[in-house]
Amino acid sequence: MRPAVSFAQVSRHFGDVRAVDEVSFEVRDGEFFAMLGPSGSGKTTCLRLIAGFEEPDAGDVALHGQSVLGVPPYDRRVNTVFQDYALFPHMSVLDNVGYGLMVRGVPKAVRHRRAAEMLELVALGGLGGRRPAALSGGQRQRVALARALITEPEVLLLDEPLGALDLKLRQQMQTELKALQRQVGITFVYVTHDQEEALGMSDRLAVFNQGRVEQVGTPEEIYERPATAFVAGFVGASNIVDAAAAERLIGRRLAFSLRPERIRIGGPADGAGDGEHRVAGTVASVQYHGASTRIEVALDGALTLVVDRPNDLRGEVRPEPGARVRLSWPAAAMQPLDGGAG
Amino acid sequence: MRSRQRAGRAPLGLRLAAAAGLLYLHVPMFFILLYAFTTDDKSYQFPPPGLTLHWFGVAWERQDIWNALFLSLRVAVASTAMAIVLGTLAAAALYRARFFGREAITLLIILPIALPGIVTGISLRAAINLADIPFSFWTIVVGHATFCIVVAYNNVLARLRRTSGSIIEASMDLGADGFQTFRYVVLPNIATALLAGGMLAFALSFDEVIVTTFTAGQQSTLPIWMLTELVRPRQRPVTNVVAVFVIAVTLVPILLAYYLTRGTESTAGAGK
Amino acid sequence: MSIAASDLALGGGPRQGVGRRLSTFLYRHGGLFTLILIAPPLAWLGIVYLGSLLALLAQSFFSFDDFSGQVIYEFTLRSYVELLTNRANLDIILRTVSMAAAVTLGAALIGFPIAYMMARHAAGRVKAVFYLAVMLPLWSSYLVRVYAWKLILAKEGIVSWAFAEARLGWLLDGVLALPVIGGPSLSVSYLGMFLVFTYIWLPFMILPTQAALERVPKGLIEASADLGARPFTTFRTVILPLAFPGLVAGSIFTFSLTLGDYIIPYIIGSSRFFIGQAVYIQQGTAGNIPLAAAFSVVPIVIMAIYLTIARRLGAFDAL
């Protein structure tokens, strides 16, 4: 099957700023695809290139194998849920949701019925008569979703849709959105700067940095096998060890990343199995994080490693700063990095 | 309770000065009203020797006043219509678009009110003379429309800036082309700003006198009629009756415009 | 597609037709679209207004034959020479600029307390009332407002009456007897004219000043008070400098509008001319359009200089 969205060497520049710089990736049909990156990394511009609000300066954007260069937004079967929701302030909720049908000339009775059904789908039945201003943030979010889904787009674009919501509501909406996507079976392209959101919701994700795609993969691939130092550092916490430090630490000149939770910490006398790397160091700081404790260990030789230890080990003594400790990790936990890391 | 804190008590001297300033701004208008009822038509004697409704009847019978009024209304309607179209187009083009010469165009729109009215007036007169155009209804309208454009422009631009840009994108995203987007999304959102701009342009045109004296020739709009009466008074209280009427006619659109654009934007920054 | 059938089954579909194609064409050519939008207003202002200004400028370089009463369409600087060498004309310019300066100062003094009250002490409903109280005079009939003062300042009017009733008639007579600002009655004196000019243009001073004062962060004032500054010191060292661009912005209006006005000196004034009157008389009764044009270049030049200075003082940010 043809990819729902494909970018081929796409660039978009604003003056001297390379917002999107020779980006290529594909979004498979029916998947939940996240675009993750810090602000200004080009993910939102990519979204706008798909929607048709921007045209690339170079390269090609295709929807289901058809190039959409020069196709205005209203002729693309792609709808957007905007970051600020962009509900029409002068229309009722029902008219907002039915807008896509209205401009296609669907008779009033039909579109009102369909809009009411869509509102039921997003659990807002009965609120159709209200104005957007009379809704809460979470409710507006759902109206924006219903409005974007009513015309059954081939791809739904979501631009940081949960950014304006508080934490509790955000977690609830994450679950609902994921369920909704499975229910309607539409390809979702989801822009976020929140790595937890991206990992938790998406089937696959692309990590953006400075207008480029650093890595595309499943959440597991991205987390377990980050391809670059940026990905390793941006998605979850990571110890990034550059080639020179790696030579001192493990005797091989190979930059790698190491997740803090993969490192085991023990007293100086603890043994370790074969195939494991072992180093010794001094505890520099201890931070209690609730579910886990973060311990910074200064190794003998200028390098500091961060270690996360789960707090479910009852009775164990938490190391104090200044204590000598021995660290160990399986060789497989070290993820080699592309290029010059750190 | 933020507002309560902010409205902390002002020093007495400041309050007195502000009150005196506001009285200075508003008390004079009461004399216009008062003198419309005086029995004295030879001078501006205070206190009036007596009060009468006689002058309202006299004003009603004066055909020259009616003629001037109708001319003023027609001019105001025509120039407001032109100003709204031109000002809205300018606002739509300059809103968000960045292009070479944008600043110069903005300056050009503001210039007719930034320069003293007499400059605009004498310029138009010079052009009318050079081109050998006879004075007519349209020479007045051309002058008025020129300085009214900025009023419509300011109101619409302020509204466009306040309106979330993404609702236009949302509309196109949902399948509406440019014309549908304009009709269903842009127009409803700028409608009150258009109306407010129109109201203010109407008020501005209806009582304009400086530019009009240069473009009217022998025609008499209501303000020109008043000016003539001020210089060579005949029945003074009749002028007051007309003045009261002018206040009423301009007050309604100004107040309406205020209520239509209440909120963050300022309609007054435009000035005359 | 589990939710429903397609658009077509619902009785609709993407719009077709000329409008759609035109919309798409314009969407793809955004620059052309902007050009189409801007063309009518630009043509209007460029041809009608700018053309007129150029016509005016051109006229100022023609000359006027006093004997035939005809304009001679040949390039000459005669009008400017006449403007700048005739003592009476220079007096007119000096008189007008002095009045504009006095009015600007007066409006700043009277307007500042109102602007300050609006910006720092009024809130909610009170603020709305203040705002309306300043905005209404701005938009309401200029001529009527001038006329109101003719009633007030008349020899037999309320001011004279009030002074007489308070047994202060001697004071009014004393003021009117002063050189320069006095005159036979308030309605034909510079003092009266000053009062009317200030009254008419006051709102133009208040609004930008108020806007500038609104932008003074409250924290700054509290910080100054925290540091031990007395209210007056805070006012002088913190508030006034920050509000200054607003005052300058307001002064652009009061100065420019006074420079170009001819109605007020016409109605409330003596026979000594102001620039506006000179322009009006020269082009009207005298028919000397070249001299009138040269005269009206004066306020343009003065305002250009004024605006250059104002820009340096940061007034454009406060507009």
Q: Return the percentage of chain C with pLDDT > 90, whole number.
A: 15
- CB proximity C27 to A under 8 Å: yes
pLDDT, average across residues C109-116 = 92
Q: Is the pLDDT of residue C9 over 60?
A: no
Instruction: Specify the higher pLDDT residue, C289 or A177.
Output: A177
Beta strand segments in chain C, E = 63-65, 70-72
Please report the pLDDT score of residue C4 as a whole number.
Answer: 40
Which residue, A335, A125, A107, is CA-closest to A233? A335
Which residue, A159, A153, A217, is CA-closest to A185? A153
Q: Which amino acid is at C308?
A: T
3-state class (DSSP) for residue C74 = coil
Of A320-329, B74-83, C220-229, C290-299, the range with the lowest mean pLDDT is C220-229
Angle ∠(B207,B209,B212) on CA atoms, nearest 5: 115
Number of A/B CB contacts below 8 angstroms equals 66
Angstrom distances, CA of residue C34 to CA of B168, C20, C42, C269: 16, 18, 12, 49
Tens of pLDDT, residues A265-281: 875 555 556 678 888 88
Tens of pLDDT, residues B114-132: 788 888 888 898 888 888 8
Which residue, B265, B145, B166, B253, is CA-closest to B208? B145
This prediction's pTM: 0.80
In whole angstroms, what is the distance from residue C9 CA to residue A111 CA?
A: 12
- CB proximity B175 to C under 8 Å: yes
Tens of pLDDT, residues B162-199: 887 789 999 999 999 989 999 999 999 998 889 888 98
The answer to whether B164 touches A85, Cβ cutoff 8 Å, is no
Please report the pLDDT score of residue C318 as a whole number.
Answer: 53
Contact C7 A121 (CB under 8 A): no
In whole angstroms, what is the distance from residue C275 CA to residue C265 CA?
A: 10
pLDDT, average across residues B52-60 = 86
3-state class (DSSP) for residue A35 = strand
C-alpha C258 chain-centroid distance: 7
Question: Between B9, B90, B246, which is nearest C41 by CB?
Answer: B90
H helix runs in C11-86, sequence order: 18-28, 30-43, 51-60, 78-85
3-state class (DSSP) for residue B38 = strand
Contact A110 C11 (CB under 8 A): yes
Which residue, B218, B220, B250, is CA-closest to B80? B250
Q: Which residues of chain A have pLDDT under 50?
A: 340-342
Q: Which residues of C touch A68 (CB under 8 A)?
A: none
Q: How confident is the model at residue C317 (pLDDT cuts 50, 70, 90)?
A: low
Which residue, B247, B246, B145, is CA-closest to B198? B145
Please report the pLDDT score of residue C3 as a whole number.
Answer: 37
Q: SS3 for A177-217, per residue?
A: HHHHHHHHCCEEEEEECCHHHHHHHCCEEEEEECCEEEEEE
- Taking only Cα atoms into account, the Rg of chain B, rounded to an integer number of angstroms, comes to 22
Query: Which residues, 6 or more positions from C48, have their beta carbon under 8 angstroms from its beta carbon?
Result: B124, B127, B142, B146
Q: How confident is the model at residue C165 (pLDDT cuts 50, 70, 90)?
A: confident
Q: Is the pLDDT of residue C115 over 80?
A: yes
Q: Which residues of B touch A89 (CB under 8 A)?
A: 167, 189
Which residue, A79, A74, A105, A49, is CA-closest to A161? A79
Q: Is the pLDDT of residue C83 over 90?
A: no
Angstrom distances, CA of residue B230 to CA of A301, B178, B265, C146: 97, 53, 37, 10
Instruction: Give the chain B residue nearest A79 (alpha carbons).
Output: B173
Contact A73 B180 (CB under 8 A): no
3-state class (DSSP) for residue A159 = strand
The answer to whether C112 touches C120, Cβ cutoff 8 Å, is no
The answer to whether A227 touches A213, Cβ cutoff 8 Å, is no
CA atoms within 13 A on the CB side of C70: 4
Which residue, A158, A87, A159, is CA-closest to A124? A87
The answer to whether A104 touches A96, Cβ cutoff 8 Å, is no
Q: Which residues of A touch C6 (CB under 8 A)?
A: 152
Contact C14 A183 (CB under 8 A): no
Instruction: Specify the higher pLDDT residue, A158 or C228.
Output: A158
Please report the pLDDT score of residue A331 as a whole number.
Answer: 86
3-state class (DSSP) for residue C93 = helix
Query: Which residues, 6 or more positions from A157, have their beta carbon under 8 angstroms from its beta carbon?
Result: A47, A50, A51, A78, A79, A80, A81, A189, A191
Report DSSP state, residue A334. -
- Of chain B, the end-to-end C-alpha distance in Å amounts to 37
Please report the pLDDT score of residue C10 as a whole number.
Answer: 55
3-state class (DSSP) for residue C4 = coil
Contact B175 C31 (CB under 8 A): no
- Encoded tokens for A291: 């579910």
Q: Which residues of C touch B94 (CB under 8 A)?
A: 38
- CB proximity B64 to A under 8 Å: no
- Encoded tokens for C104: 């600007």
Q: Is the pLDDT of residue B263 over 70?
A: no
Angstrom distances, CA of residue C317 to CA of B110, B207, C107: 16, 31, 20
The answer to whether A342 touches A229, Cβ cutoff 8 Å, is yes
Kindly report the nearest CA distance between residue B192 and chain A, in angstroms.
12
Question: Between C22, C23, C37, which is nearest B93 by CB?
Answer: C37
Q: How confident is the model at residue C8 (pLDDT cuts 50, 70, 90)?
A: very low
Q: Which of A63, A84, A90 is the best substitution to test chain B (most B C-beta atoms within 10 A)?
A: A90
Chains that touch C (3 or more CB pairs under 8 A): A, B
Please report the pLDDT score of residue B272 as a whole number.
Answer: 37
Please report the pLDDT score of residue A339 as a whole number.
Answer: 56
Look over chain B and give the mean of its residue pLDDT values, rounded to a whole number. 84
Q: Which residues of A touch B174 (CB under 8 A)?
A: 74, 79, 99-100, 103, 147-148, 151
Please report the pLDDT score of residue B5 as a whole number.
Answer: 41
Question: Between B7, B227, B247, which is nearest C121 by CB?
Answer: B7
In whole angstroms, what is the distance from residue C280 CA to residue B118 CA?
A: 8
Q: Which residues of A touch C10 (CB under 8 A)?
A: 101, 106, 110-111, 114
H helix runs in chain B, sequence order: 2-6, 12-35, 54-61, 63-94, 102-114, 117-131, 137-162, 166-173, 178-181, 187-206, 210-215, 222-231, 236-260
pLDDT, average across residues B218-243 = 87
Chains that touch B (3 or more CB pairs under 8 A): A, C
Query: Which residues, 6 or more positions from C213, have their beta carbon under 8 angstroms from its beta carbon?
Result: C115, C116, C118, C119, C120, C239, C242, C243, C246
Q: Is the pLDDT of residue C69 over 80?
A: no
- CB proximity B172 to A under 8 Å: yes
